[in-house]
Structure 1
Amino acid sequence: MDFTNLKDLILLNVYQYGGKILLALVVFIIGRLVIAKLTNFLAARMNQSRIDRDVQPFLISLLSVLFNVMLLLSCAGLLGIETTSFVAILGAAGLAVGLALQGSLANFAGGVLILIFKPFRVGDLIEAQGFIGVVEAIQIFNTILVTPDNKTIILPNGSLSTSPVTNISGKGVIRVDMVYGVGSQNDLDVTKAAIQGVIATCPYALKDRGHDVLVTKLTPDTTSYDVRVWTTPANYWNTYYYMHENLKRQFERDGIQAPEKLVYVKQK
């Protein structure tokens, strides 16, 4: 092997391509720093603007990807790589990846639809796909729920955007519907007054809303009452359990008796 010729070949390649590689490397490093500062600046500007906070992380991620692709194309051009061919290769690779990741693309599209049409927002209490929880984050591919018992539920946006979603806190207030059964021998007015008294003392019941105590069913043994209490979504379960516990105490104080036959108490 002729080491002299090999050395000359290496030096020739270094002279020919070394400067381009060094320049591309410098541009890449500086470009990454500029992109980081630019995305931080845009994020700060978005926080000061009227752009929805749910959309901001998605836009920042999208812009960051776009800037990095432009940087890679610029570096490829500095190295002498034909960018048109490079773009074609990226397009073909993107098509292959897209076909392989159809489910992920559906989740991506679902995330875009959720962010645009806003069927729910971060902080809303929703029921979807058999789960009830507070929306903690709306990500590009998934939506994160936190259940009342502090479990984290990750729902894919693709199915979430095409399936029924109940936004429990969408209106800002929510009604807790309960049914209570007492013995038919109890005085109707006394029982209704007892229930209304507990509602009046409930710290979670909204004072500017009318609450209902309605006789819903009569049998020889039982009188059933629909009790409807308005509260905020955050206090739904607090209201529910407060009513159960304190109605039990109030019924005992007023001598209101249970039915002779077992009657269940349920949440409607």
Structure 2
Amino acid sequence: MMEWLQAPENAYWVDLGISVGGRLLGALALLLIGLRLAKMLGRWVGVRLENSDLEATAAMFLGKVVLVIMQIILLLAVIQLLGVPVSSMFAVLGAAGLAIGLAMKDSLSNIASGIMLVTLRPFHVNDLVTINGVTGKVEMVSIFQTRLRGADNQVITLPNALITNDSIINLTPDTMRRVELVIGIGYGDDIDQAREIAMNLMQSDSRVLKDPQPTVYVYELAESSVNLGIRCHAGNADYFATKCELTEAIKKAYDRAGISIPFPQRDLHIIDSGKPDPAKAIGLAKAS
């Protein structure tokens, strides 16, 4: 092996191997060290942005953008270290830009939507939102997607483009939410008594806010019930428990007061004309 390396006719290959190997090792070292430094710097920038006066959603998004930019710069440096002319690569990318743009139109749409979410700020981190029929607390807004945490602790990931193309219901901006129950009572029951029971239950619950005042209205004269709209307001943190416990308390109170809560049902009336059925008579004769 040493003799082959020392042979004059093999000097070119030896020099080429040393040159290429050195570049590969240098590029690998630069890539590994650069990725680690990029993550550290991106994390540091994200922390500094979060500690600044910048809104948390924008700070998180900008931290991700800074990390991606540093990774792109690192990739270009590694390519240049390998001996590939960066100017030539830019020319190739420019020529293929249209094709890349068409192939990545969904990703580019998500990036543009992410910028819109950070700029317009329809919601913030830790806000409770309903988007595309799903409800959860906002955990992260990244370049391509937004992550929510559902009520059952499930992770919900939505593309940014889907969010900006759909309605966004932010349940957090105010300090309170309206609790609305629609409960039907029978047509023979006393509406005033049912209203008084519901009002007493809401007024005696410490979680129900005094302003706006609780109300009970007749919503609808339905097919089999008189539907009452029972409304009050509670704090965001107490909304779910207040709604569930108030529903249960009204049901029990109505049962004690003898107020019925109808459910869909059908009455079947059988009319006997008193005349014998010929077909039935023939069937009985054959059986005998």
The alignment's TM-score, normalised by the length of structure 1, stands at: 0.78
The aligned residue for residue 145 of structure 1 is 148
Matched, 1:43 2:49: no
Q: SS of 1:109's equivalent? A: helix
1:79 positional shift: 4.7
Structure 1, unaligned stretches of length 5 or more? none
The aligned residue for residue 251 of structure 1 is 254
The aligned residue for residue 163 of structure 1 is 166
The aligned residue for residue 201 of structure 2 is 198
Corresponding letter in the other structure for 1:39: G
Q: SS of 1:55's equivalent? A: helix
Deviations 1:216-236 (A, max 9, x none): 4469x8554221111234443
Deviations 1:1-36 (A, max 9, x none): x95345311333356666666655555555444433
State percent identity of aligned pairs. 29
Q: How does 1:256-267 map onto structure 2 within 5 Å? A: 256-258=258-260, 262=263
Structure 2, unaligned stretches of length 5 or more? 266-288
CA contact (8 A) 1:179 1:227 kept: yes
Q: How does 1:31-70 map onto structure 2 within 5 Å? A: 31-70=34-73
Q: SS of 1:41's equivalent? A: helix
Q: SS of 1:258's equivalent? A: coil
Matched, 1:74 2:48: no
Single out whichever of 243-252 and 145-154 deviates more from structure 2: 145-154
Q: Distance in 1 between matches of 2:43 and 2:152?
A: 35
Aligned partner (choices 107, 118, 123) of residue 110 of structure 2: 107
Q: Distance in 2 between matches of 1:66 and 1:204?
A: 49
Q: Distance in 2 between matches of 1:42 and 1:103?
A: 28
Larger radius of gyration: 2
The aligned residue for residue 235 of structure 2 is 232
Cα gap change, 1:102 to 1:251, in 2 (>3 Å): same
Cα gap change, 1:234 to 1:105, in 2 (>3 Å): farther
Q: Distance in 1 between matches of 2:252 and 2:138?
A: 36
Q: Distance in 1 between matches of 2:236 and 2:264?
A: 28
Q: Distance in 2 between matches of 1:18 and 1:156?
A: 42
1:117 positional shift: 1.0
Q: How does 1:180-219 map onto structure 2 within 5 Å? A: 180-217=183-220
Q: CA RMSD in A?
A: 3.4
Q: Distance in 1 between matches of 2:30 and 2:135?
A: 49
Q: SS of 1:59's equivalent? A: helix
Corresponding letter in the other structure for 2:259: Q
Corresponding letter in the other structure for 1:154: T
Deviations 1:115-154 (A, max 9, x none): 2211122333323223233333323222233443444433
Q: Compare relative contact order (CA 8 Å, sep 6+) and give the higher one, 1 or 2.
A: 1
CA contact (8 A) 2:61 2:143 kept: yes
How many residues are paired up?
A: 261
CA contact (8 A) 1:181 1:263 kept: no
CA contact (8 A) 1:213 1:225 kept: yes
CA contact (8 A) 2:194 2:259 kept: no
